[in-house]
Amino acid sequence: MAHDAHHAEGHAHAHWDTSIYPFIISFGILALAVAFSFKFVYHNGFAAILSLGIGVPLIIAGIAGWTSEAMGKGEGLSYGAMGWFILAEAMIFVSFFVSYWYTKLHVDVWPPAGNIELPRIMPLVMTFILVASSLTIHYAEHLLHLGNKGAFRTWYLLTIVLGACFLGMSVYEWSHLIHEGFTIGTNAFSTVFFSVTGLHGSHVVVGLAIFLAGLPSVLRGDIDEGFMRTAGLYWHFVDIIWFFVVSQVYYW
């Protein structure tokens, strides 16, 4: 009976964390898939833009809201769990790169017909911006560890601005290439280019959403150091992956 009483007491004090945000994110991903279909299957650009305009805000809001729920609960297993998550994400990129290498090394003519010359200077500028953002968030974490929350806030905001600049340059480059007739369906290389850069861009969006989730607490001054360490770790991963993207896709 004592065991039953203890078991019942455990159930009485059990608490399950629930969240609406994964549901929101799933609808955002669905909207992106619909936008892809509108653009490349039905060739309806307006509907694709409309779906994209719905999907991206839903994903960003969902990630930001879901992440913000974890703030203030301590670091727990989040830092280690982020490491395992990064490993899983890295395997996805590896699969893309291996497919690209195999295709490039086993065809008679490369680059394939319909290819255009990719920009050479812009990727270097984008690399500089992303590396700078990784340095700023690292320095911000250092300042936070020292207890200088005011300076941390400045460098944290600078990281967000740099990340947004990188993303804006990626969008501009895509728009320019598509305007010239270089799309995901042009040839084998274009498929790889838009897939890999798009996958990396999606990770930049996730990283910015995580930073935006932490922004209200940063502005208030009640900063969760464990959350910031975990967010910074993910951002460093985004930076490292870009080195592989820019070296393999743009210059090899």
The terminus-to-terminus CA distance of the chain in angstroms comes to: 71
Query: What's residue 33's pLDDT?
Result: 84
Other C-beta atoms closer than 10 Å to the C-beta of 62 total: 22
**Model confidence at 14, in pLDDT bands (50, 70, 90)?**
very low
The pLDDT assigned to 16 comes to: 53
pLDDT tens-digit series, residues 85-120: 899 999 989 999 998 998 888 888 888 888 888 999
At residue 74, the pLDDT reads 52
pLDDT-above-90 percentage for the chain = 42
pLDDT tier, 25 (very low <50, low <70, confident <90, very high otherwise): confident
DSSP 35-67: HHHHHHTS--HHHHHHHHHHHHHHHHHHHHHHH
> Is 35's pLDDT higher than 50?
yes
Comparing C-alpha atoms, which of 59, 1, 7, 55 is closest to residue 32? 55
Cα distances from 70 to residues 9, 132, 187, 216, in angstroms, run: 26, 27, 43, 14
Contact 35, 48 (CB under 8 A): yes
Shortest CA distance to 59 belongs to which of 30, 32, 25? 25
Q: Is the pLDDT of residue 24 over 80?
A: yes
Residues 6+ positions from 86 with CB-CB distance below 8 Å: 233, 234, 237
Q: Tens of pLDDT along 63-73? A: 877 777 766 55
- pLDDT-based confidence at residue 15 (cuts at 50, 70, 90): low
Residue 46 is which amino acid?
Answer: F
- pLDDT reported for residue 9: 47
CA angle 239, 63, 155 (to 5 degrees): 50
CA dist list (Å): 239 to 17, 24, 118, 207, 234: 32, 27, 21, 11, 9
Amino acid letter, 112: P
Question: What would the two tokens of residue 186 be?
Answer: 């042009």
Q: What is the pLDDT of residue 11?
A: 47
pLDDT score of 243 more than 50: yes
Average pLDDT, the chain: 86
Rounded Cα distance, 144 and 149, in Å? 6
Candidate from 7-16, 151-160, 207-216 with smallest mean pLDDT: 7-16
One-letter amino acid of 68: S
Q: How far apart are CA 87 and CA 51, in angstroms?
A: 31
Q: Which has the higher per-residue pLDDT, 15 or 187?
A: 187
Tell me: the pLDDT tens digits for 117-160? 899 999 999 999 999 999 999 999 999 999 999 999 999 999 99
Residue 71, pLDDT score: 64
Predicted confidence at residue 72, as pLDDT, reads 57
Please tell me the distance from the alpha carbon of residue 58 to that of residue 142, in angstroms, as a whole number: 32
